[in-house]
Structure 1
Amino acid sequence: MEPKRLRIGSRESLLAVAQTRLVIEQLKANYPELSFELVTLKTTGDKILNKTLDKIGGKGLFVKELDQALLDGRIDMAVHSMKDLPMEISDDLPVAAVPKRGDPRDVLVLPSSGDFEEFGQVIGSSSARRVLQARRLFPEAEFQSIRGNIHTRLRKLDKGQYSALIMAAAGLKRAGLEDRISRFFSAEEMLPAAGQGTLCVQVRKDFDRSFFSCIHDRETELVTEAERGFVRALDGGCSSPIAAYAEITGSDLCLTGLYYNAADNTGRKMSITGKAQDAGELGWCLAEQIQE
């Protein structure tokens, strides 16, 4: 029998807290007899803001402190953005649930007083994946790195340090900032990162995962499995310009992958379609095809 009070861990950023509260509200609706305590922690990735992630150890830095809190028993579960999770997940801390995916698209954000037709030439993004694809859309633009939480980035934009930003639609929507979106990029224009828009709940291995069946979304699980399988097969971390996006139609899953070879500065984009139940295998197959 589960305890009457469950402690849910989150990064302390406003966006991370907003996303964790979404999961808490879903759990409360299904378990009104339980109470849920939000526990926030500052992660290494949140502390070091003057360097790009690939220079300080990758996206795992956004989950390390929460992993330790789980192992220590200070929290009972942790809510993460799926794209922050390392590709290799410890058997001791499995992902117990993935709620229904949010908007996976990337978006263009202009200064609060901006006009899309008149925005300048400096676009902020710390994602090699976004920059490499955006160069085709904005060949005259200069791209500069930007770090910080969502509100910090918007403040820098509005102060004139950048002419525009490329960000994730889901984060802006969940933070109540959808009105800042100037343009949505289709998946054809800018293929999203694997797992973009998806949240996940991580627990200790002894936690009864059936507890989360009420919020788990099978379709989201399958597309995430395909996307992360593709990236994992290419040994891609946060510094690797790799993108993957899967969609399910009926019983079929279509996975599109994008892989940039830094050695010769070439990009390859391919798709594969198969049975949704074979999601993970499709990711590996596409990776092999794109490498060939």
Structure 2
Amino acid sequence: MKQKTIKIGTRDSELALWQAHTVEKQLNDLGYTTEIIAVKSQGDIILDKPLYELGITGIFTKTLDVAMISGQVDIAVHSMKDVPTALPQGIVQAAVLERANVNDILVHKGDLSFFETESTIATGSLRRQAQWLHKYPQHQTVDLRGNVNTRLQKLHESTWGGAIFAAAGLERLNLKPNTFIDLDWMIPAPAQGAMMVVAMAEDTFALDALSQLNHIETEICTYIERQFLRTLEGGCTAPIGALATYNEKTDEIDFNGALFSIDGQQKLEIKRSFAISEWKKLGFHCAKEILENGGAELMKEIKEKLKK
């Protein structure tokens, strides 16, 4: 048996606990002893405001950062798309687990007539809202917050046509209903479907343990997507989608990234394929191209709108 029990910090939602148990099992299989410590985050407590109105990036990760820095937990498990692109001082990315389904899905109630009407679609994400309105400008969107079960319940009790979810979250909890549509046209959030484990920079024991869980292909692809996000200065709020995939046949990275206006009317998109050797700067160069082609002005507009 390895020395020292690794204390795993997690949010206390069902999905977060599923993720923590997944990491725990992988560490246990390697011979490490672990303990799960659940912490409530501000993002789970404040449910009456859209995320972008709270004005904090990392609202779901902040509480766990504090718990790690204070020594209450050794490592923390996150949905990677919730993690700010700049980690707090002293905290490092220790592992990225193999990615699950990257797609968004629309959960509906079995009646698809809402596509022909001025229906309402629920989502707590500006990225999903903007892309939905870009494709279906006749629709309205409404904010939807809470854990997965709460959001499914709210949809069931509402008059909405449907609600948008990350497929991975519903699949992990076996909650994916039969009444859904795969939104394969919607560009996912940077790092969607991936789990990140963080640790303290000087904790060599935890870092060594976690390095054995790292999935290199997922690490590279999510790095590119998050670099794209960071260069556009998205934080967690602007409507930005990004997806990098490794193409085995060509040994290239295929990248698709976009920035939208909040109302979905403007879309600045880039699609490129690069040699795998160029991955370290790929996200940066793609974002620069968007910024130079109207993205800088659009980002300025978005920030002004979100301030109001």
Instruction: Compute the TM-score of the two structures, normalised by the length of structure 2.
Output: 0.87
- 1:133-189: per-residue Cα shift (whole Å, max 9, x none)? 112443332211111111111111111253210110011011111235511111xx1
Distance 1:79 1:280 in 2: 24
Where does residue 204 of structure 1 map in the other structure?
200
When structure 1 is superposed on structure 2, of 82-91 and 9-18 the one drifting more is 82-91
Rounded Cα–Cα distance in structure 2 between residues aligned with 1:285 and 1:255 = 11
2:252 & 2:281 partners in 1: Cα distance? 13
> What pairs with 1:1-292 in structure 2 (closer than 5 Å)?
3-31=3-31, 34-111=32-109, 114-117=110-113, 121-180=119-178, 182-186=180-184, 189-208=185-204, 209-250=207-248, 251-261=251-261, 266-292=266-292
Relative distance call for 1:206 and 1:261 in structure 2 (3 A) is: same
Q: Deviations over 1:105-133 (max 9, x none)?
A: 0001113xx33346771210121111111
CA distance in 1, matches of 2:258, 2:214: 28
Asked whether the equivalents of residues 133 and 264 of structure 2 are also in contact (C-alpha less than 8 Å), the reply is no
Aligned equivalents of 2:113 and 2:261: distance in 1? 33
Question: Any conservation in 1 of the 2:58–2:83 contact (CA below 8 Å)?
Answer: yes
Q: 1-side partners of 2:113 and 2:236: how far apart?
A: 32
1:107–1:181 Cα contact (<8 Å) kept: no
**1:115 is aligned with what amino acid?**
D
Task: Let me know the Cα RMSD of the aligned residues.
Answer: 2.1
- Percent of pairs with identical residues: 34
1:36 CA displacement? 1.5
**Count of residues paired in the alignment:** 286
Q: How far did residue 53 of structure 1 move?
A: 1.0
Residue by residue, what CA displacement relative to the aligned partner does 1:50-87 show, whole Å, maximum 9, x if unpaired?
Answer: 11111112341111110011111111100001111111
Q: How far has the Cα of 1:202 moved from its partner?
A: 0.5
Give, in whole Å, the separation in 2 of the partners of 1:20 and 1:73.
18
> Does structure 2 retain, via aligned residues, the 8 Å contact 1:52–1:147?
yes
Q: Is the 8 A contact 1:156 1:162 kept in 2?
A: no
Quick one: which amino acid aligns to residue 196 of structure 2?
A: C
Q: Give the SS at the match of 2:91.
A: coil
Q: Write the letter of the residue equivalent to 1:57.
A: G
Q: Offset at 1:35? A: 2.4
Mapped to 2, the partners of 1:148 and 1:161 lie a distance apart of 18
Which ranges of structure 1 fall in alignment gaps of 5 or more residues? none
CA distance in 2, matches of 1:264, 1:18: 34
Mark the runs of 5 or more structure 2 residues left unpaired by the alignment. Answer: 293-308
* Alignment correspondent of 2:303: none
CA distance in 2, matches of 1:171, 1:280: 29
Q: Displacement, 1:265?
A: 5.3
Return the letter of the residue paired with 1:191: I
